[in-house]
Structure 1
Amino acid sequence: MVTERLTRAIGRPVARVMPFVGRGYTPARRMIVELADGSKVFAKQGMNEYTAGELRREHENYLRLHGSFMPRLRGWDDDGGLEPILVLEDLSGAHWPPPWRLDQVHKVLDTITAIAEQPVPDDMPALMVEWVGGGWNAVAKDPEPFLSLGLCTARWLDRALPPLTAAAESARLKGDSVLHLDVRSDNLCFSGDRTVLVDWNHACLANPEIDRAFFLPSMHAEGGPAPEEVATIDPAMVAVVAGFFACRAGLPPVPDAPGVRPIQRTQLEVALPWAIRALGLGA
């Protein structure tokens, strides 16, 4: 059944379907598909309501946006239910960091700029500002999940929360540039002279500094340079990044995606000290 659907989506005979493991935090099914002529493509199939919706949003963005920073769209088959299939070029042979080289970090930052300079599609959604920027307000309402991480004391939080919240609330999040909104090493690779970002389901319109700021903690956590060494980011935006992870990393595991909270904590362990330095809060 899957082979038949892949053949229909791609428009070419399928010889073999192989499971792909190693990246991704959702239960979507991932496959390397070998075609009758020996070439290969990559396919993702929805497995529940959430992954089906995300794949449909991602497919819409492949139709809206175009550039060397996106995988080439190879096919699409929508069953109208929970298992749509998106087919893209096979990038399994590309370099997926880490490790990081300084020139690669700059390539990613340059690619974020190139994405932001794309013509704006008429139907591209705007950023949900509170979802990104409301982290410290959420911590103020319920500090226990954040405090349970052991990254600070309640006394320190009482002192630091007002300036962190004020800074985050002053950040300029709205904008009319295209963002990927999930720039991390597991979502990007280097293929020849291309820097390619995958998983375009969150793409929206906002201030492109959001993509730059959110990329830097994950890169540094993987052995790359400190954020301040490669980019100048508004301290208010740094507070937004730290707050985004602070209000989420201590929450219960995400159903069907147990790896999400650990990676959020890893990014918080970089973003929080970065915000402390950027705002001059002290230890």
Structure 2
Amino acid sequence: MDTERLTWAIGEPVVRVTPFGGRGYTPARRMIVELADGTTVFAKQAVNEYTAGELRREHANYLRLDASFMPRLRGWDDDGSVEPILVLDDLSGAHWPPPWRLDQVRQVLDTITAIGRQPVPDGMPVLDESSINGGWQTVAEDPEPFLSLGLCTRAGLNWMLPTMLEASAAAKLSGDSVVHLDVRSDNLCFSGDRTVFVDWNHSCLANPELDRAAFLPSVHAEGGPRPDDVADIDITLVAVVAGFFAARAGLPPVPDAPGVRPIQRKQLEVALPWAIRALGLGS
């Protein structure tokens, strides 16, 4: 890492840079940076055009939003290359779940509510619904990747698909509230009395219930309570979430992010039975 660029980004002398593995699913470089006064910050550097675009979107959202549920923006350097650098508070000493306690799950849901109540900042992007919905239609058109997961028989898919398609089509994803749109354990931590979300590159305006629906499968996949034991979620959004993972988990691995498909499968293993229960397809 170029300590000169980090010093420029932060505005303070850098004395040590330590690579930080974390649990991110992109190949962006992550590091803990020690400053001359002995304090530390967290830095993330893009490594290709995709991660550069994601980092620029994240930085833009840090400029738009400023609240206790976000780490503080500590620095930014973008020389126009594919390697911009974003610097934030160091949260490596916070508690990053799992394990999950029920009160922590509820803290996260309360934080999602708080995010949705934020004043809408200028320039906030609006949700592209096609990026979230349409999963069951994709499965209907080509069911083989989904069936290859072994989570459902062809007959079972044919039985539930009309209901999943109908429910997904009725879902209200649009809205005028701020949402994070990527709430899961590797993107949140508990620091003192704060619940802090990181990775704000997908944040936009949408229906905040979508964040709640998308978050809960990850909790049960990591040993926490079942989604329907925690909160009542709009069943149409439950169908959308299940469809999102159903359309992706069986696809070939992502070359730069090999952990994506396994985590999508784990989420689907929870989201699919949740949707089946919610829609009454198991009775």
- After TM superposition, the score normalised by the length of structure 2 is 0.99
Aligned equivalents of 2:131 and 2:6: distance in 1? 35
2:198 corresponds to which residue?
Answer: 198
Letter in 2 for 1:106: R
Say whether residues 1:163 and 2:170 are aligned partners.
no
Say whether residues 1:185 and 2:202 are aligned partners.
no
Identity %: 78
C-alpha deviation, 1:67, in angstroms:
0.6
Structure 2: tracts of 5 or more residues without a match: none
C-alpha deviation, 1:22, in angstroms:
2.8
Q: Does the residue aligned with 2:149 lie in a helix, a strand or coil?
A: coil
C-alpha deviation, 1:210, in angstroms:
0.4
1:152 corresponds to which residue?
Answer: 152
Deviation string 1:196-233 (CA, Å, 9 cap, x unpaired) is 00000000100000000000000111111111111100
C-alpha deviation, 1:195, in angstroms:
0.2
2:44 corresponds to which residue?
Answer: 44
Letter in 1 for 2:246: A
C-alpha deviation, 1:246, in angstroms:
0.1
Say whether residues 1:209 and 2:209 are aligned partners.
yes
1:117 corresponds to which residue?
Answer: 117
Aligned equivalents of 1:119 and 1:35: distance in 2? 34
Aligned equivalents of 2:2 and 2:96: distance in 1? 28
Runs of 4+ in 1 over 2 A off after TM superposition: none
Deviation string 1:147-170 (CA, Å, 9 cap, x unpaired) is 000000111111110100100110
Aligned equivalents of 1:158 and 1:223: distance in 2? 30
Letter in 2 for 1:115: I
Letter in 1 for 2:200: W
Letter in 2 for 1:49: E
Query: Do the aligned residues in 1 keep the contact of 2:75 with 2:88 (CA within 8 Å)?
Result: yes
Q: Does the residue aligned with 2:25 lie in a helix, a strand or coil?
A: coil
Q: Does the residue aligned with 2:132 lie in a helix, a strand or coil?
A: helix
C-alpha deviation, 1:81, in angstroms:
1.0
Aligned equivalents of 2:73 and 2:190: distance in 1? 17
1:229 corresponds to which residue?
Answer: 229
2:274 corresponds to which residue?
Answer: 274
Q: What CA RMSD, in Å, does the superposition of the two structures yield over aligned residues?
A: 0.8
Letter in 1 for 2:256: D
Aligned equivalents of 1:47 and 1:270: distance in 2? 33
Matches within 5 A, 1:120-139: 120-139=120-139
Letter in 1 for 2:152: C
2:258 corresponds to which residue?
Answer: 258
Query: Do the aligned residues in 1 keep the contact of 2:253 with 2:261 (CA within 8 Å)?
Result: yes
Deviation string 1:2-49 (CA, Å, 9 cap, x unpaired) is 100000000000000000013100000001000011000000000000
C-alpha deviation, 1:121, in angstroms:
1.4
Matches within 5 A, 1:85-96: 85-96=85-96
- After TM superposition, the score normalised by the length of structure 1 is 0.99
Aligned equivalents of 1:166 and 1:254: distance in 2? 30
Aligned equivalents of 1:211 and 1:187: distance in 2? 13
Aligned equivalents of 2:25 and 2:226: distance in 1? 25
Aligned equivalents of 1:102 and 1:150: distance in 2? 31
Deviation string 1:62-84 (CA, Å, 9 cap, x unpaired) is 00011100010000000201000
Q: Does the residue aligned with 1:75 lie in a helix, a strand or coil?
A: strand
Aligned equivalents of 1:24 and 1:258: distance in 2? 11
Aligned equivalents of 1:137 and 1:107: distance in 2? 34
Aligned equivalents of 1:150 and 1:228: distance in 2? 24
Aligned equivalents of 1:22 and 1:196: distance in 2? 16
Aligned equivalents of 2:160 and 2:104: distance in 1? 34
C-alpha deviation, 1:188, in angstroms:
0.2
C-alpha deviation, 1:95, in angstroms:
0.1
Letter in 2 for 1:116: G
C-alpha deviation, 1:130, in angstroms:
1.5
Aligned equivalents of 1:162 and 1:131: distance in 2? 21
Query: Do the aligned residues in 1 keep the contact of 2:22 with 2:30 (CA within 8 Å)?
Result: no
Say whether residues 1:7 and 2:7 are aligned partners.
yes
Aligned equivalents of 1:189 and 1:271: distance in 2? 23
1:79 corresponds to which residue?
Answer: 79
Query: Do the aligned residues in 1 keep the contact of 2:145 with 2:250 (CA within 8 Å)?
Result: yes
Structure 1: tracts of 5 or more residues without a match: none
C-alpha deviation, 1:122, in angstroms:
2.2
